[in-house]
Structure 1
Amino acid sequence: MRQCSDHSPLRSGEVLIMRPTVSVIIPVYNSSKTLRACLEAVYAQRHPITEVIVVDDASTDDTRDIAREFPCRLLVADQNMGPAAARNRGIRASTGEMLFFLDSDCAPEPDALDNALAILRDQPDVACVHGIYALQPMFDDGPVEAYRLLHGHYWRLRNVGRVRTTLFAVCVTRRVAFTEVGLFDEKLRASEDVEFGDRLADRYATVLTDTVVCRHDDDSHLGKLLRKQFGRSQLLVPVALAERGPAGIRANGPAGLLTALLVPLSVPVVLLGPVFLPLPAFFFGLFAAADPGLLRFVLRQRGPAFAVFFYGVHLLVQLTIAAGAAVGGLRHLADRDFGPTRMAPVEPRR
């Protein structure tokens, strides 16, 4: 059986450096495909791990059996409450000074925790460090997953530095952040980390770094990807309206979303005559060129043939996000309780 590392001091010359205690918190739901690889990567971290807490959100597969193969603490929910509630339960049960959050479909590189803690040690005003997805997947499940990883890697890499947004797929946070700012909003089943980051920004800084890397098992079926994007994007407008400060990280820029809408809108114009036949292709090219950095990145990584596939899927994703955001905006107008809880702002640290 795998063993947790000890909490022990390091000596550097005459200076005694105490390694912080670290609790790993992994919310899981029907995660039998990926959990073993995730936990193996956790126990391979170079920095000592104090405890690993797996919070099962009422899985119906053999997720819990896999968790029991490891010396972790398993918490089981009676009903599915979502990742915010699962993370909150893990926080309350944990003891570490630092909390290492992982999604169950992420396998961090062995130096991920070490690198995050180095940033927290060197920058005392930073309370949260999160990382990026590797281009290589946890499991290679085909071209749709390759699209997801390329796009996910690119927009995170583009935003490396101090940010206002927190993303908890692979993230190390000081416990004091939750003590002072509060826990995740359990009303939210998506964007709960974005909402938390907006509250955190009133008091502490957040860093997105490319030195904290994980392999990710992303969506590999187009239909499932689009359904997930439609559901998640319904909270974009309510969360954005509740933000107290400047907008945080956005995976997709407004230019891309707007030019994506022009493609289907131009299709009926073709009926007016053959002269308009090139119009949808023209707007598709405009859509691909809306983010030149992304286009160059995709071409450099996978070449022109895959770029055509990439932008075909990307167009469908952008249209789905736009539709979900519109539906979510209308739901918020009809019901102001649809969205984040209106939490009182915290006083900035002095």
Structure 2
Amino acid sequence: MTTPAPLVSVIVPNYNHASSLPLTIPALHAQTYAPMEIVFVDDHSTDDSVAVARALGVEVRSTPRNAGPSVARNIGAEAARGEILLFLDSDVELPPDTVARAVQLLADDPAAGAICGSLDDVPLARDSLVQECRCLQAHYWRISSLGDVSFLFTAICAMPARVFAELGPFHEGLRQTEEVEYGERLSARYPIRLTDAIHGRHRDDHLLWPLLRKVFHRCRLRMPLYARRRRAAKGFETAARMWGSVFALLATLTLPLPALTGPVGALLPAALAVGFVASDAGMYRFVLRRRPRLLPAFLAVQWLLNLAIVAGAVAGAVQWFCSRPFRHLYENGPQPTRVPA
């Protein structure tokens, strides 16, 4: 007797991605796998997301107020009926065989707590040079970290519903680092696999200042977690990449040296700049092969991103020393799922 295929609940949290939904929702309707349900949760968007989603044929659930992706995902998981939960960001477009591949990957690897997918090197919508650079970085960092990781990459992430029930909901007190905290809990019990067998096109940040601000705050908010475990995440964030941020800061601080000491003073910032590139040399070689004309802009964006990272780390360290609530940011555990209005 044939075992029936498991129902997959695709949980799509959304906030202000109305312009992406005409690409991402039809891609879900085009999936080759069945049975499947779409659980779309709007996090109190201020654009036309709800109207667009309904026009595209999905039922919309809503958070009672803008509360962050943790709350939206928890509401979606509470409503889901599937044996497999597939969390998907609303600005990610999937190839038609993605759900089928995710189900097969979980079936082939019953020990896994979650299977996370990678992001393509070409963005969903080519809005800006910044977005092109950001998508290349996101793509390379994932494909260079394939295997077991301690992050939960929630842009595309499939997991058995029983594992989610065992771990509990996403931490609703966290907005920017909820996937890091959840990955910590999950990887302590089950392996998290990062694979390029499932992937999608992502609409990343297209404006430089909001991107730098987001990176700054994400790094700042991770400091209590890093201080508690005294190590970075497994995969993705490497010691060499952390040194790259330090090299970028030191090179920037030493830029005035040539004006003070003459041409010899240029040697130090130049050496630090070389160290910055060497810290993630594989990524820059990848960009040179894939998009050579983009390399100068890519280097500039990466330089600024690394300055934002080190600034966030410093700010987070200061806040950790000065604020007791900040030190215990991750220690309260996940909060109960909130019921939508």
TM-score (norm 1): 0.89
Equivalence map 1:1-350=2 (5 Å): 16-243=2-229, 247-251=233-237, 253-275=241-263, 276-303=265-292, 305-338=293-326, 339-343=329-333
For 1:277 and 1:202, locate their aligned partners in 2 and report how far apart those are by CA, in whole Å.
Answer: 47
- Of structures 1 and 2, the one with the larger relative CO (CA 8 A, separation 6+) is 2
For 2:121 and 2:232, locate their aligned partners in 1 and report how far apart those are by CA, in whole Å.
Answer: 30
Q: Which stretches in structure 2 are left out of the alignment for 5+ residues?
A: 335-341
Q: Which stretches in structure 1 are left out of the alignment for 5+ residues?
A: 1-14, 345-350
- 1:146 shift after superposition: 1.1
The answer (yes or no) to whether the contact 1:260–1:318 under 8 Å persists in 2 is: yes
- 1:246 shift after superposition: 7.3
For 2:79 and 2:30, locate their aligned partners in 1 and report how far apart those are by CA, in whole Å.
Answer: 23
- 1:165 shift after superposition: 1.9
What is the aligned length? 329
Q: Which has the higher helix share?
A: 2
The answer (yes or no) to whether the contact 1:190–1:232 under 8 Å persists in 2 is: yes
- 1:278 shift after superposition: 4.8
User: What is the match of residue 4 of structure 1?
Assistant: none
For 1:331 and 1:97, locate their aligned partners in 2 and report how far apart those are by CA, in whole Å.
Answer: 41
Name the aligned partner's letter for residue 331 of structure 2.
T
| Shift in alpha-carbon separation, 1:250–1:342, aligned structure 2, 3 A | farther
TM-score (norm 2): 0.91
Please say which of residues 15-24 and 170-179 is displaced more in the overlay: 15-24
Aligned-pair Cα RMSD in Å: 1.9
The answer (yes or no) to whether the contact 2:116–2:153 under 8 Å persists in 1 is: yes
* Per-residue CA distance 1:283-312 (angstroms, 9 max, x = gap): 223311222211211111111x42122111
For 1:162 and 1:120, locate their aligned partners in 2 and report how far apart those are by CA, in whole Å.
Answer: 14
For 2:269 and 2:309, locate their aligned partners in 1 and report how far apart those are by CA, in whole Å.
Answer: 20
The answer (yes or no) to whether the contact 1:198–1:243 under 8 Å persists in 2 is: no
3-state SS of the aligned residue for 1:168? Answer: coil
The answer (yes or no) to whether the contact 2:148–2:235 under 8 Å persists in 1 is: no
Please say which of residues 223-232 and 206-215 is displaced more in the overlay: 223-232
% same residue: 37
Name the aligned partner's letter for residue 251 of structure 2.
V
